[in-house]
Amino acid sequence: MRADMFKVIVERPRWASRHAPAVKLKKDRNVARKFVGHKRHAWEEAPYTKSLSENLAPLKRYLNKQRGRRWDDVFSEICQSLDTGSTVKMHVREHVEDFIMVRVRVDRQGTWLGQHKWRGAQPLDSWWPDLYVDPDDGIIKETNALRSALGLPGRHAFVRVCTCYPQGPFADFKRLCETSILIKRKGLWFHCELDRDPKCGAPHLRFELIEKQWETHERWKVVKMAQLSSKALKRHGLHNCGGDM
């Protein structure tokens, strides 16, 4: 692993830092106001709050190149570059398990289970990253190869099946699975990742996302929100437009 991996990943502007519309007092909701500061304007008008915008592609490429190696050796290399003496480096290490399922076991019924950092134990027929650590030999292997050996559909086929999740009569809301949501804000489609299954119907979940009620309770949180790329829009059969919501 390159020594400056943590710099490559974290040194970019925070996402949503410039997504508030231009300050136009004539369009201000408070007609009596003669002045509004930039922070208050962004807080009131931006459709979402600031969040980190790490460039995780270098970390993903590094892990993909380690297929066939022992996880213990790879993790030792990661620890050499990302030690525990730096908060930023520790933050980068937290993203490693986004791309590889490290804690894997097989229960007495022969079911493969992976311990997700947010969702707990997840069977192989649910969402797993592209890579996993074999519990027998500790080698990094491809998840799709394991799915194929067990007669399960590939990961991408699983994603396509998830698009059939009950949606409800909404043109601005699409639920991919329990914790993956597509929602339209001000004419633009965004992908939201939740930290757990909210265990509620589509109407209630849509309302809480639009009204940002998840910021005021502890039942579940939005851990990631990103605007869909043109390729993702085409894959889901969606399109952006102005003037909505």
Domain end residue (candidates: 124, 153, 182): 153
Query: Does one domain contain both 98 and 130?
Result: yes
Within a domain: residue 207?
Answer: yes
Residue position matching structure tokens 């500790």? 138
pLDDT at 46 > cutoff 80? no
Same domain, 113 and 195: no
Encoded tokens for 126: 């649910």
pLDDT at 245 over 60: no
Indicate the number of domains in the chain. Answer: 2
Considering the domain architecture, whether residues 175 and 133 belong to the same structural domain is answered as no
Same domain, 179 and 143: no
- 147-177 pLDDT, tens digit per residue, is 889 888 766 555 444 444 555 668 888 888 8
Q: Are residues 103 and 67 in the same domain?
A: yes
The pLDDT-based confidence of 197 (bands split at 50, 70, 90) is: confident
Of 129, 153, 177, the residue at which a domain comes to its end is 153
Range 35-53 average pLDDT: 62
Q: Is 223 left (phi over 0), alpha (psi -120 to 50) or beta?
A: alpha
Could you list the residue range(s) of the whole structural domain that residue 116 is in?
Answer: 57-153
Q: Tell me what the pLDDT averaged over the chain comes to.
A: 78
d(CA 226, CA 44): 20
Neighbours of 90 (CB within 10 A): 13
- The pTM of the full predicted model, rounded to 2 decimals, is 0.53
Residue 15 has pLDDT above 60, yes or no: no
Task: Identify the CA nearest to 54 among candidates 99, 100, 11, 93.
Answer: 11
Residues 125, 104: Cα–Cα separation, whole Å: 14
Choosing from 153, 173, 194, the residue where a domain stops is 153
Q: Per the domain annotation, does 220 fall within a domain?
A: yes
Please report the pLDDT score of residue 28 as a whole number: 64
**Spatial separation of the C-alpha atoms in residues 212 and 221, rounded to whole Å:** 10
Quote the percentage of the chain above a pLDDT of 90. Answer: 18
Please tell me whether residues 111 and 63 are part of one structural domain: yes
Token readout for 203 is 């109407």
Q: What tokens appear for 214 in the block?
A: 């998840």
What is the rounded CA–CA span in Å between residue 202 and residue 171? 12
